[in-house]
Every structure is written in structure tokens, then in C-alpha cells.
Structure 1
Amino acid sequence: MDNGSSLNILYIDTLDAMRLPRLELRPTGSPFHGVIPGAHAYPLGQIDLPVTFGSRANFRSEVLTFKVVDFLGSYHAILGRPCYMRFMAIPNYTYLKLKMSGPNDIITVSSAFSHAFTCDREHFELASVVVNSSELLRLGESSAPAAPDCNQPTSSSAFRPLEETKTVGINPTNPTKIVRIGTQLPAK
């Protein structure tokens, strides 16, 4: 469950384990961000798959679109906001529960804290390996802009206001807490 993710992700190893042919992937040209630090991630494609929650007596099935990625992950898939919207599900991360309405009653998907801890530890170890890899360093150098050197003085044109400003103190007990306000602002 990842309430912060704006897409559903399926790892290529999971697709292969499901014995689904890669020819079923539809092309997608849009990259996404936040998975590989400092770089864009390009999916191999996307695929629509049926997803079912519940038991035989009370279940819901919906077809979800997954972006298929070709990099290591400690999970089989990541269910993001599109999944929750389609199922109208509510995740509760404190209790490790996912709840949604079913045809006969509320469907509750649960996990054990020990299992969640094991998954988090595996994910952390995998992320540490990826972050420390030389491949990521090379990728970061080629795609990320160089950070400015804090010891170098900035040019005289950097961060210059377009108009005159007035300095106003915002804390009478601490004169270093100030804010600059433009003097040409409209009265409104």
C-alpha cells in the first residue's frame, strides 16, 4: 500500500512469475519520478490486470492499470491511489488494514506487524544497495544538475528584487527575524 504513489507499479520479475508475455505490455512514453533518487524512471510499458480482494463469500474485483518497471524491488507490486479510488478503499497504516465495501459486508485486508517490519527491512537494505551503487552515482552525475558551491560568492544579479523593498521586523525580541516587503505593492 502506498497512498503517496500516483500509479500502480508492477515489477518485471512479478510479471514473469505470473507467466504473462511481455508482448501484452502497451507502450507508455511518460516517465515518473521519486523511485530512483535523482533520476527519471521509464516503465517498460503498462498492462491491465484484474485484482481481487476478499473471500469467496464477499469479494470485489476490478481491472487496474499497472506500470511495469525493470528494476529491483522488495515487493511484487505497489498499489497506489488509482487502486484505492477504483475500489473506494481506505488504507489505515497504523493498523496495517485496507478496508473497502463488498457486496455482502466490509472487506478488510490485514497484515501482521512482523511481516511489515520484515518487508520494510528488506526494502531498506535494497534501497541502500541501490543508493550506494556506482551505477546510481554515474546516473546521478549525468542527470542531476550540479549543486552550487556554498563557499563561492553568488553573482551580484542573483536573488535581486525587481523593485525597492522595505525591511520589517517580525519579532521584537529577536531583531534578526525580518521580512522584506516590496514598497511598490498596491494598497489592496
Structure 2
Amino acid sequence: MSIVVRDVHEHELDSVLALNNAAGPAILPLDAARVRRFFDTAEYFRVALRDDTLAGFMIGVGSRAEHESSNFNWFRERHADFFYIDRIVVASRRRGGGVGRALYADAQSYAELRYPQMACEVFLEGGHDPALLFHGSFGFREIGQHVMPVVNVRAAMLMKPLCSYAWVRDTYGGELPDAPWVRTRAHLASPPRMTGTGR
């Protein structure tokens, strides 16, 4: 049973919304308008399929995005250049089966061509130890904590350096090759470019 990771399709947005809102307290709820906005603007919005069934999804944005999130803004106040994972959701019946790792590996493959580090957060209320362990085993380290306004939830703010970024930047100088696995989501009007200086 292989896991397939690919860009989300428009007809899957209702399923993504249902999966998000069934995830429990570790994930903030969404409404249809917000999912649609992610579809229209997020540079990374991918789903994981197992046996042709939606098993999870991940949404990410770069540090220059117009993104309404107090956690994203916390990172942006402290770091100039990063790729931010807004959310990752894995269907409850698929947890522990490699779907989360497949999504994070895919996101890292995307991000390390464009950004020097990845950022995300883990809520620190309830059973957070498995999530912290998962992220720690993937190379993320806590750089601070943030209490989210309105929902009053404390989050561990995590970052991971992407060691391949400097080589890609120095080698390609901001112009990545036109290869299928390198391309960004097709419908975005202005695809993200590598950050930092070129050669």
C-alpha cells in the first residue's frame, strides 16, 4: 500500500475541510471560505492518498506571504526567510502509518529549493508528546513559545534548518530548472522564487 503525495484538486476541498474539522483539538477548525482561500493562495497545498483515498493533507506558505496567523507572524517578527507549515492533518485511521512522514518529506523537498529553514508549531495542551517527538525526530527544534490570542492556546514554536538550500541558491542563482518535480502549483499567479542572493 503506497502513499501518493500530490497537489490538491479543487473537487477535494470539501473532503479536506471534513478531515481538518474531524482532527480534534490539536488542529484549529476551518470553514469552507478559508479552505478555498488556501486553495487559491497557498504555494504548497498537497494531499496524501493511500489506496486512492484521502489520508491526509498539508498546507504551507513562504515568509513573504499575506497570511493571517498569529503563529506565522510570530516567526516573521523573528526570522526573515522561512517556509511555514500552517497545518498538517492525517486521518485518524491512518496515523502511525507513514502518512505524516511522507507529507513532511515532500514539503522539505519543496522548501529546501527555496528557503533556508522550515517553521511550524505544536500545541502544548493535551497529549502533545507524540507530536513533539515526531517533529523532533524530523529535525525540528523549539525556539520559543507563543500563546495564540482569541483561542488562548500555548504552542511550541519549532524550526528546522534546510542544509541543501545554500547549495541550491549558489548553484542556480534563483532560477530553478523547469522540471516537473520542481514546479510550484500551476494555478498560482506568481510562483515563489528562491530567497537570498544569487551567485
Greater per-residue helix proportion? 2
- Smaller-chain TM-score range? under 0.3
Of structures 1 and 2, the larger Rg is shown by 1
